[in-house]
Amino acid sequence: MAIRHVLIVEDLAEAQIWLSQSVQLAFDDCSVMTAATLKQAEQCLAHQVFDLVLLDIGLPDGSGLQLINAIHLKSPHCLVVMATLFDDDAHVFTALRKGAKGYILKDQSKDNVAQMLLGIEHGHFPISPAVANKLLQFFQPTPAKNDLTPREQEVLTLVAKGYAVPQVADLLTIKKSTCYGYVKDIYRKLNINSRAEAAMEATKMGLITPDH
């Protein structure tokens, strides 16, 4: 894939310069545009078709994740690569589900970033090592140690599969109040606070498959 036109969506001036230099190291004959907000990025997309967009998440007027669909609508063949400090599961997996093809953490040298970007022309998507390890751990889970009871594991499995608590109670033929108590204990034991985290923990335990 030839990279000729690049858009960098980043609100910090120093980071804009750093990413621009990384891009120029990788693709010395490409043109680079920058945008500091979602609105500015949308204006750029309205006037230019891009081959590559380096997209930050934390922007002044919203999340860069909101822009991924618009990028693909305006530039269908554009490669979206997140360039961010956010390395938590929620941001990583949300970005990839929305269509990002790369995820670079802004804790690396310009040379390292340039090398990752250079791989694009050879069909290699740029993924920071820490994010690659996170993906491997997710898709090749090892059973996690836990002190959940067999009943709590049953509840966790159903919650992770998307069932609401009343539905779980009906499926397990237990009272709704009892089921809510199980969910509360599960969240406390696993130190989690959301259904998404419950699904990840259930996957790590081997209770559900990653592609469920």
pLDDT in tens, 18-43: 999 999 999 988 999 999 999 999 99
Q: What are phi and psi of 54, to 5 degrees?
A: -95, 115
Q: What is the CATH number of domain 150-204?
A: 1.10.10.10
Cβ within 8 Å of residue 66, ≥6 positions away = 38
Partner residues linked to 83 by β-bridges: 104
Q: Smallest Cα–Cα separation from 131: which of 94, 77, 160?
A: 94
Q: Report the C-alpha gap between 41 and 50 in whole angstroms.
A: 11
Per DSSP, what are the bridge partners of residue 32?
A: 6
Q: List the chain domain ranges.
A: 5-139, 150-204
10 Å Cβ neighbour count for 210? 12
Q: Which of 106, 116, 130 is nearest to 52 (CA)?
A: 116
**CATH class, range 5-139:** alpha beta
Q: How confident is the model at residue 145 (pLDDT cuts 50, 70, 90)?
A: low
Secondary-structure percent of the chain, ordered helix, strand, coil, rounded to 5: 55, 15, 35
Alpha-carbon distance 127 to 103, whole Å?
5
Per-residue pLDDT, 195: 85
pTM metric for this prediction: 0.68
Which helix (H) or strand (E) segment holds residue 47: the answer is helix 38-47
CB 109 within 8 A of CB 22: no
3-state per-residue secondary structure call for 185-199: HHHHHHCCCCHHHHH
From residue 140, alpha-carbon distances to 132, 149, 159, 209 in Å are 12, 24, 21, 10
Q: What is the DSSP annotation of 5-41?
A: EEEEE-S-HHHHHHHHHHHHHH-TT-EEEEESSHHHH
Position 144 pLDDT exceeds 70: no
Q: Which stretches of 44-162 are assigned E, i.e. beta strand?
A: 52-55, 58-59, 62-63, 79-84, 102-105
Per-residue pLDDT band for 141 (boundaries 50, 70, 90) equals low
Distance between CA atoms of 200 and 59, rounded to whole angstroms?
27
Q: Residues 116-133: pLDDT tens digits? A: 999 888 888 999 988 888
